[in-house]
Structure formats: C-alpha cells, structure tokens
Structure 1
C-alpha cells in the first residue's frame, strides 16, 4: 500500500499530540513527516519534506493557516490541505473554499471524523496517481494526439533548414500554432532511476519502465502542463520530449520566465506522481520561426552540462554560454561529443573521444586530403568550444603561437593524436579554472548585495538574481556549491549576526533592531533569534554585559 507524507501544523503542542494519538496513521497509509507550531515554520518544513497532505489550524502566530494554504497551493497545486478551526464562521469557510482547500473541519474533532476525512483525501490522491499511471490510456492518447506526419514535420522544423513557405503550409495542415514574435526550444531528458533497496515502486510504475512506455507518460503530463500555461507544442524526438514555446504579441509575460515556471511545475508533478526526475536543456530565444534549429541545438548543448551540474536540473544555455553560436557541420554527433568533452568532460573522456575520432580515420582508410579536412574540422571545433567558454588562446599557448601552422607541421596520425589530446586537455583545464573563478565572483557579488540590503524585509532570491542577471535555478546551484548553504540560510545568518552586534553595542529596543535587520514582524524576529541561539534577544543582551 502506498504511504503518503503528512505535515501537522498547530500552535498548541497538546493539540498536535492529541491528533497524532487519535489516528492509526500507518493503517490509513500515512506517515507524519513533521510538526509545525506556526505558519512560517510550517512553510520551511514543507519545503524540506514536500508532504502530500497538510493538516493545519487557522489561527496561529506569524502566519495563519489560510495564508499558509495560499502559499503552498500557489507553488505546489497538487498538495491536499485540510483546515481545522474552532471558528464556525462563514468568512473562514468561504476563504478556505476559494483557496481550493480539500477539507474543512470544526473542532472538537473526533477520531472517526478525522479518519473519514483522511480516507477521503487518500482516495483523491490514489485516483490522481492511477490516472497518471494508466498505461493503456497513455498508449491510446499518444496514437490520437501525435500523428506520424505531424511529428515528422516538427522534428524537421528544429533539425533542418525549412523555408518559411513550407513551415507556414505544414503548420496549417497539422493545426500547429506558430504565430508569434519569439520562440524557444526546451529538451526534456528522463533521468535514469536509481533503484532504492526499500522502495519497490507501484506495479504500474514498474510496468511503465519495463514496457518502455515511461516516456509516453512523461509526454502526456508535459502536454497537460504546456496546455495549462498556453506555451505552444509538445512532441517526441528519439528518447527526449521537446517543448516548442511560442510567444505571441498579446502576451505580457517574458517568454523565458513563462517557460521556466511551466517546467518547474512539470518537474514537481513528475516526481510526485510518476516518481521520476528529468533534466531539461533550454535553448536561446529566437525572433523568427526559421531560426528554431538554432534554439534546439543550443538546448541539446545545455543538456551536455548535466555531466557537470548534475541531473534533475533546468539548464539554460544563456546561463552557461551567454553568447550562443551556430555549430559548423562536422558530423554533428562527433562535433557535439568533442565539444562536450572539452567544456564539461574529464581528461579521460577527452582522451577516449580523440582516440575514437582517430580510429575512424584509420578504419575509413581516408586519403591524405580527406585526413587534412577531418583534422582541420576537429581543430576548428576545439577552438569554437574555447571561444564559447571565453578562453584566451593566447594566454594558454602564447601570443605568437599559431595552432593551424603547428597542425600542418605534424608528421603522422599518432603524433597528431597526441597533439590534439594535449591542446584539448590544456583548454579544458583553463575552462575549469575560469568557471570556478566566475562562480566565486558571482557569489561574492551576491554576498556583498546581501550585506548591503539585508535590512530590507522584502529582499529575496529573485531580487538578487535580477541584480546578477541569472536564473534562480543556476544561482541556487552555484551559491550552494560555493557556500555549502542555501540563500535563505545565509541571509538569516547575516541578519542574526547583525542583530547580535546591535544588541551588544547599542541600547536599541528589540523591535527597532528587528526593523534594522530586515524583520517587519518583531515577534517573529524574537522567535527566530531564540530558535537560532537558544536565548531571547533580551537574555542575550543581559549575558553580554
């Protein structure tokens, strides 16, 4: 039987314990993952545990249950929320209904009442998951929604140089809306599942994987999210799912922000209902439909960075390579493999790639002229990879060093192979060092900004990312990598350190200090301070004298 995670929120510990003792949670199929004593704390616990159900009181300090419900539903719309209250007033019930709260309970609550409510909510979740896992329905949906000819056209649209007239004709024939002034391609790759020893998965989940239908389940879910956000078109290419975002004149939202919001929700839904994670490469924004090939190639290039950034990420090419360029035609697969090895690979991977490229020369028994063209294209690809990553070739090899001249001076294939390995590894090492320096510089700018602005109660991660011109996903990755902590934890630490200094060196009252360090609510400042240091602000001040 599935077990669903549940978070209990009430400001009275006796009430929480009373509810816990009233119900046989394991028998009902629930596991209590956390308890919160106010809405603010519950929101932090929710982010850590990602429960399926939240059982919350309404009247609580710092943040009430209705505001907590609103924030959870805004970011995690599939979460079920049960609201408890002793207020038998229409106003509360009306607000709860507007927030799409699953159930509304009046105190005192009996064991039978809460059991019935939990069974009802569990049934709703079971039904939602069953719909996602319906293998036969997924197969039928795929057959009806994406005819072969339509899919063939869409693949050609992002991989071949179709002319405008052909694009217009086929989009009309297959009822595909390509009317817009901005376009973007995203490539979704399903991460390989790591088998946990204590997690066998549902029968349908196993069947989806064994029958090779998992990508159709992901495709179906992606289509639902794309339709919800009115993004554009979804289709399959090989083992990946493609999102083609079309931004119209009447839209006010920025195309990238709209696409990222949809993909973030998609990742949450897939992980919750299908128990899978995905990595998404997002291409650059193009202004003309005939340039979609460029956006697609950059989305595929962004996916290569999962080797470095890890899976279960959204990777935007404009974060990694601010200036995207078109790739030359040099056996696209070989070019991408070599480029990926230099940008995000290891010394062993680069050595293996070059060995394979030279094996192909020997196996094909190419003429000397063909051999020259082949290695020229290899060198050009390497230098393009260096340029994309802002590598200063003169700094590595010297101002007067000409790699093309040196290439023609090589005496044979073995010498050439060793030479290519050497320059590739040297460029790769430069990129690794430069990337690390860039990370440190960005994190330093973020820290400086926080130290200057922590007194502003409205400061958040989006404000810092706008200042640095980075997406929140990329910033969170590099900030945690460099500082070993999250943005929120770092901001809290800066504020708490500042508060301690003010308590030691000034006679300001606690509410004045709270305002100076960025807390609009003095009570929550005192609560956070005591939670952090184990003493209240006044006790800390007295002990410092």
Structure 2
C-alpha cells in the first residue's frame, strides 16, 4: 500500500478528501493527516509518505515551504496541491518545486481519483524499475571479480585510453588514480615448466592456484586491490596505497608455509599515472622470468635481507645463519646467480626502498636513513648519491625521476 498524507488546516476539507476516494481500490491508505505545514512534515517523514496532498494556505509553515522541505528530505514523495489559490504566481512556484498535480478546491472526487490513479501507476512503474535496477546491480556485484579480471587484462594490454581506465576503475569500485604496486606471483608447477618438481593433475593444480589466490586476497585485504590472472597464467595484483608495505614477500612466505609450494613473487612500484601500469607490468613480468632460475637458498636469503634491511647490524654472517648455510657458500651463490656481492645487494635493497619512501612519503631524510638501516644521515646520503647520481633531496625534488623512469 502507498502511504498518503493529507495536509490542510480545514478539518472538513481533510474529511472530504478522505471520504471521497476509495483508497483501498487504489492500493493506497491515508497514513496521516495534518493541519499545518510543520506537523505535516513531521508526519510525512515518520510514515515515509509516498503521496502528499497539500494545501498552500496553512499556518506555521505554508504549503510552498512544506513542498520545498519534502523535496529535500523525502525526494521520492509525489506531491499534489489541493488549494483555493487560483493564481499564476503560486502555480509557477509549484512547477519549480516539481509538483505532480495542481487541483483547485473543491476537489472533484472523480478528478482527484483520476490523478491519484495516474500517480499510483507511476509509483508502481518506478518501483518495478527500481527492482530491475537492484537486480542488475546485484548481478554486477556478483560478477565484479570477472569484470575486474577482464578490465585488468585490457589495462595491461594497453587496450584502453587513460579516460577509459579511470571510468572503469570508478565503475568497478576501485580507486580512480594510479596504484602504488604491481605484483606478480608465479607458481612454476602450474605451467608445467622445467622448474616444476612435481607433475600434478589439472584439478589439483587448479585447487592449489585457488588456494594461492585466497592467500593473496587475505594478505592484500588491508589495501584496495584487483587480483587477476594474466594471459601467461601468472597471478597478478594491482594494489593501491601500499607504498610502505611488502605484501608480496608475505604472500611468498605464507604459500611456502601453509601450502608447501615454491612460488616466485615480485612487486614493482608504480611511479607515474595509470598510463604507466602496462610498462610496469612488463618490467615485473621480465623480472619474474629471471627470478624463477634463482635457487631457493638465494631467494630465502634475499627475502631475509628485504625483511631485515632496516637493521644496521644485518650482515652476510647473520643472513647465512638465517637460511642455514655458511657465509662462504652464500657469498659464492650470490656471485654465481645474481652476479653481485652481499654488500652490493644490501645497498641496492636499501636504496630502492629509500627511493620509494622519498617519492611517496613526507618522512625526513634522517627518518628515511634510519628506516632503511643506515646509522647516520651522512652515510646514507653518500651511499644514495653514489648509487643514484644525485642527493636524496634532489631526488625528492624530481631531478632523477625521468632517468629512473627510463
């Protein structure tokens, strides 16, 4: 039933309207009556009135003011003016407020019934449309993961303009700005690659991939993100607002701990707008291919270094002890597989972290130096300039951003 309120300061008029219409036949009921505009507004809001029959000449709050308040506070309410004012100025104001009908007293019962019938049909049609929209909205929400997957593959494939990317982000309930990280998780067994140590049935492989995706979703849940599989079968995630975090290292450790699977992960920071994401994806994918050839010992050692790079006392000895090998053996593996030394790799990790903090936070140079494991700002600035070519202050101002982007 549609709720109707009758607002008129004359009791006989209210009674006449109430008695002259077969409300039940129209699927309506008189839910409230009021003798002034203020009372009418209060009762209309209380009963969530669908239709208001309003007189213009009422005490305390006149009809035009009441209509304006209803438009603001109960915009779906349909309004019919029933008044003795046959003046063009009143009709103009009523039109501006979007009233549905303007009837003069005494209201003809047939005319009033006809108006209410038409409004009832409009309300019913609007309700049906709302139901269809809600059903469509539920269906879209249900398919959001699939829609995001398709969108992300089009995004990394450079099939969309910048404006289309921003529109799709808004539609898919993702931040309409550049993300902070692009991460990839590769499970070699899923591809049957040479790195796979076990050949599993397809059903089991898919179950394992699903389990990895669940771990990704759980560990990425603190940040807005879109997870999807790229055309190569890699598990990818585009992450917003996570510039200060390393969720993909945590994903790799969790998969190893809970699923006993060997996966390769890499997170590449996104420096630039949404249009840079395809290039970031290609860079991350290239690194992932190279990473797969690295031995588990070196991967564990490097992950330990990334997790503890903030410790000024981090050393080759402590890292080797953490992964269960000798310092000499670990040093040799670094040279053979990475073509670098422990000290050079640690410096690279610390400087890479520092560049991200310089560009994405307001931390002072001294705070960043401490955060990445340097005991003094001077030592950090010297190491940074040697590695990057400019001082941390100049880098933050953008002097080296273009070179970095190349």
Bigger radius of gyration:
2
Do these two structures clear the TM 0.5 threshold for a shared fold by scoring above it?
no
TM-score normalized with structure 2 length? 0.41
